[in-house]
Amino acid sequence: MKILVTGAAGFIGFHLTKKLLEEGHEVMGLDSINDYYAPSLKYDRLAQMGIDQHSISTQPIVSSQRRKNFRFKKEFLENAGALNDLLKNEKFDVVANLAAQAGVRYSLDHPEAYMNSNMVGFLNLLEAVRKYPVKHLVFASSSSVYGLNRKIPFATSQTTSHPISLYAATKKSNELMAHTYSHLFGIPVTGLRFFTVYGPWGRPDMAYFSFTKSILEGKEIPIFNEGKMMRDFTYVDDIVEGTISAIKHIPSGDPAWDARLADPGSSSAPYRIYNLGNHAPVKLAEFISTLEELLNKQANMKYLPMQPGDVEETFADIREATRDLRFHPTTGLREGLQNFINWYRSYYKV
């Protein structure tokens, strides 16, 4: 297939792009390479796929020096004209949208970044796909859409009408926008709710990354909600496998969908929502003790109240993903954290 991956220099987008290239697909990567965290990490990810940083600033589309089936373009989704031209000229089979302004806490102080990237950018993408159709649009949503829900595990059949961060609200809005376009224009769309993804080449703002850095440097780490948190940590390779399965599983309208019950995870339109999580939440205390053991160093912890926008627990019900996508996460926390630590020590020369 010929696939556009937006957010290709980001954490998950990088791993997805690498795997798609290994499978022999033709991939165009697109990323704005913003400075939410160090752009050098994003450029280093691209370098792993043969994209020269200096070429990005001089060429509209850069071809990989290592992979004949990979090209890259630096662009914002907010640039509707450039996005339309790209889809018109390239005629993609699939668009995998992983570009977004990430982070719950950042959204408290920088709401405009989320409206621009996650709302305007996503609308531009939907419009481009409407004008220049593809076989399938797959996009990243988030477990944060479950918000105030307390029915565990989180299932796609549950309501997600009470987000508690602007980031979550934009992801919920993306799901609603995608359904509207799927219903109106028959666009096959799949949304994937990712649950706390971690692994090598990860995002420095994520807890596992910042905790590792602080423990190794002997710095204090903040433990919010007095440590009474649980997260469904999901290794990035498992997320990528689920995403590729979703790409290949093009939805059609569900003939059994009942408008009186209105299951939000499916539709009479060619639209589906899936949870991609490990289905095995871990207590924060266990997570930190595992990190301490693997790093052979004790954490200096500072217990703090709950942060605005955070939820106490995430736990993915993955029955639909297992049934339709054959999604079976296989990487346990210890193995996944060890892989991350090995990468971290190598990359930062620790």
Active site residues: 167
**Tokens in use for 148?**
């105030």
Residues near 4 by beta carbon (within 8 Å), at least 6 away in sequence: 27, 28, 30, 86, 87, 90, 92, 94, 95, 96
What single string gives the DSSP state of each residue in 207-234? HHHHHHHHHHHT-EEEEGGGG--EE--E
Is 183 in a helix, a strand, or coil? helix
Residue pair 265/273 in contact by the 8 Å Cβ criterion: yes
Is 199 in a helix, a strand, or coil? coil
58 residue type, one letter: T
Measured CA to CA, the distance from residue 232 to residue 254 in angstroms comes to: 29
* Category of 261 on φ-ψ map: left (φ > 0), alpha (ψ -120 to 50) or beta: alpha
202 residue type, one letter: G
